Structure 1
Amino acid sequence: MKMTWRWYGEGNDSITLDQIRQIPGVSGIVWSLHHKAAGEAWDEAEIEAEANKIVSNGFSAAVVESVNVHDDIKIGLPSRDRYIDLYIDTIRKLSAVGVKVICYNFMPVFDWTRTQLYYPLPDGSNALFYEKASIGSNPGEMAEMILRGGGSYTIPGWEPERLARLDELFAAYAGVTEERLFDNLVYFLRKIIPVCEEVGIKMAIHPDDPPWQIFGLPRIVRSQASIRRILDAVDSPSNGLTFCSGSLGTHPENDLPAILREFRHRIPFAHLRSVKVFENGDFVEVSHRLGDGSVNLPELVRILHEHGYDGYVRPDHGRHLWGEEAYCRPGYGLYDRALGAMYLLGVWDGLEDARQAATEGGEFDVGAE
């Protein structure tokens, strides 16, 4: 298990590589060219400069999150082939600097959706919060509320230039059903996966967040069955899943251990975090610790350990601690993500230690099946 950290780049992230280096066990930086809009060509010199900066500071630059997919591809417009060709060009350029995994999503219009960015928790921290009743019928009002709540800071995962043309996008997606969106994803994958196989890159689709429809928009990566359908449709090791315990864990019908066991060979990247899900369907981000939320992270780490997982993980979202919401990206502060990384590595180290003791003493039983 290779621990990584999502970083938004110098001048774009208040957290520095020097600070990240002080978190024990973090060996890789998850990066992107965040100023690039979906469908825009990635410049080779910019790619090399960013990757070299990361590697020269002692980190791996093997994971990129994200190379955003243009709406014309998702909608299935005649122009999609041009944007797919640009995507393939970026894949080739990223492989040249050692990238092994590209995390992406296929969510229409909105990326991850929350209704409050700084929801107060009982311990005095605050976190991202989703209130079902606040998701009304007007996506423009919701987007404005989220952006206003973010102040002058970028909302991770959102593309501000798209929010300025919501009416246009909703009109474009009006005839896109879940079946059609699925077909458009398969079309995209059939074009890019042979190139990924050639250059040694694995695509890792991120689950919808939350994993249900909002504003009537189709969602197709939200359950064990839907993931299976996508992976089977283009059956290649290069067509993989980003296992996100927080996204999938917000739906009570998702069996996270079962999902992890079934698709473990197709998971090159994992986001490990917890959420507390309330009876009415609301949920809030919480600490990684067992018992604070609805996700059993130690069990998930144990499953990864059982199967010798050697892919990449990151602690993903965290609470805002000790006043850092004044400057951090919502959900992407320093302190709680650092605590999360150490918690996950502590669970892994405990399993490693137990395995070593068993090897020396002839027994090994930490609940493995």
Structure 2
Amino acid sequence: MKMVFRWFGEGNDTVTLDQITQIPGTEGIVWALHDVPAGEEWPMDKIMAVKTAADRAGLHIKVVESVNIHEDIKLGLPSRDKYIENYKKTIEKLAQAGVKVICYNFMPIFDWLRTDLYKETSDGSTALFYEKSRIDNIDPFELVKQINENSSLTMPGWEPERLQYLTELFEAYRGVTEEHLWANAQYFLDEIIPVAAKHDIKMAIHPDDPPWPIFGLPRIITGQDNIRRYLQMHESPYNCITLCTGSLGANPNNDIIAMIREFADRIPFTHIRNVRVYENGDFIETSHRTEDGTVDIAGVVQAYHDLGFDGFARPDHGRHIWGEQCRPGYGLYDRALGIMYLWGLWDAYRKKKAGMTEVAPV
């Protein structure tokens, strides 16, 4: 397991590279060019600026999250070919900079979705929270307004330049079904995977967050059967999954450990985090500790250890603790604690395995 840490760039993150280097066992950053709109080709000079900063801190940039997909590709519009060509050129440039994994998603309009960015918990910390009944009844335009008013930093999946066209996007998706989305994803994969294979970059799709349709928009990467279908659409070791335990864990019916064991050879990158799911469908993001949430994090790490997982892993959304003022879900303190919990589990399983294989003295 190779530990990495998501970083949003100088001036767009409260966490510094120097702080990341002080988290034991953390060797790289997970990054993106958040100021480049979806669909545009990434400039080489900007890519190299991130690499230079990371190199200076002793960190690698092998994992990108995300190279966002333009909505015209998801909609299957004639203009998609132009954006796919830009995507191919970006893959080529990222390969030159040493990138090995690109995380992306195929969610229409919105990426992740929550109703409260700073829900107070019983211990006084705050966390990202999803209130199901509110989503079922809220105007998405009002939700966008509230999200943008409650964060001073740009938030992936909620970029103002994309959301200013919200009305047009909802109209464009009118009548688009899951099968339409599957077909458009197939077109994208057929174009992209050969390029990714040529440049030795694994394309690792992120599950939908939460893993069910919202606001009448279809979603397709929601569980084990759908992930299997997606991976079978292009039987290449470069068509992969970013297995996110928190996104998939929002649906208690998802057997995450079974997914890890089935898709092990197609998981180059994993997000390990916990959520607590309530009977009414609400969920809140907790510490990474197994007992604090609904996801069996200890079992997840054990499955990865048993399988000899050598891909990239990162803690995902953390709580906001100890008065930290930070990007929602992406502070330093709780994610650093998460890393140490994950390493603690990993080290314990490694020691146990070593003890089991030792030859008893004669």
User: How high is the TM-score relative to the length of structure 2?
Assistant: 0.97
Counterpart mapping for 1:81-100 below 5 A: 81-100=81-100
Name the structure 2 match of 1:367. none
1:137 Cα shift? 5.0
Identity across the alignment (%) = 59
CA distance in 2: counterparts of 1:72 and 1:183, whole angstroms: 13
Counterpart mapping for 1:73-222 below 5 A: 73-135=73-135, 136=137, 138-150=139-151, 152-222=152-222
Q: Deviations over 1:76-107 (max 9, x none)?
A: 00010110000000000000111000000010
Task: Please say if residues 12 and 153 of structure 2, whose CA atoms lie closer than 8 Å, have aligned partners that are also in contact.
Answer: no
Task: Please say if residues 203 and 238 of structure 2, whose CA atoms lie closer than 8 Å, have aligned partners that are also in contact.
Answer: yes
Unmatched segments (≥5 aa) in structure 1: 364-369
Q: CA RMSD in A?
A: 1.2
Moved over 4 A (4+): none
Counterpart AA for 2:332: L
Unmatched segments (≥5 aa) in structure 2: none
Counterpart AA for 2:150: G
Name the structure 1 match of 2:278. 278
Counterpart AA for 1:145: Q
In structure 2, the CA distance between the partners of 1:362 and 1:72, relative to structure 1 (3 Å rule), is farther
CA distance in 2: counterparts of 1:123 and 1:49, whole angstroms: 40
SS of aligned partner of 1:341 = helix
Task: Please say if residues 116 and 149 of structure 1, whose CA atoms lie closer than 8 Å, have aligned partners that are also in contact.
Answer: no
Counterpart mapping for 1:291-310 below 5 A: 291-310=291-310
SS of aligned partner of 2:292 = coil
CA distance in 1: counterparts of 2:114 and 2:138, whole angstroms: 15
1:349 equivalent to 2:347? Answer yes
CA distance in 1: counterparts of 2:31 and 2:254, whole angstroms: 29
CA distance in 1: counterparts of 2:16 and 2:148, whole angstroms: 25
CA distance in 1: counterparts of 2:148 and 2:120, whole angstroms: 18
Task: Please say if residues 137 and 215 of structure 1, whose CA atoms lie closer than 8 Å, have aligned partners that are also in contact.
Answer: no
1:362 Cα shift? 5.3
SS of aligned partner of 1:291 = helix
SS of aligned partner of 2:276 = strand
1:160 Cα shift? 1.7
**Aligned length in residues:** 360
Q: Deviations over 1:163-201 (max 9, x none)?
A: 111101001111211100111011001101001111100
Task: Please say if residues 127 and 285 of structure 2, whose CA atoms lie closer than 8 Å, have aligned partners that are also in contact.
Answer: yes
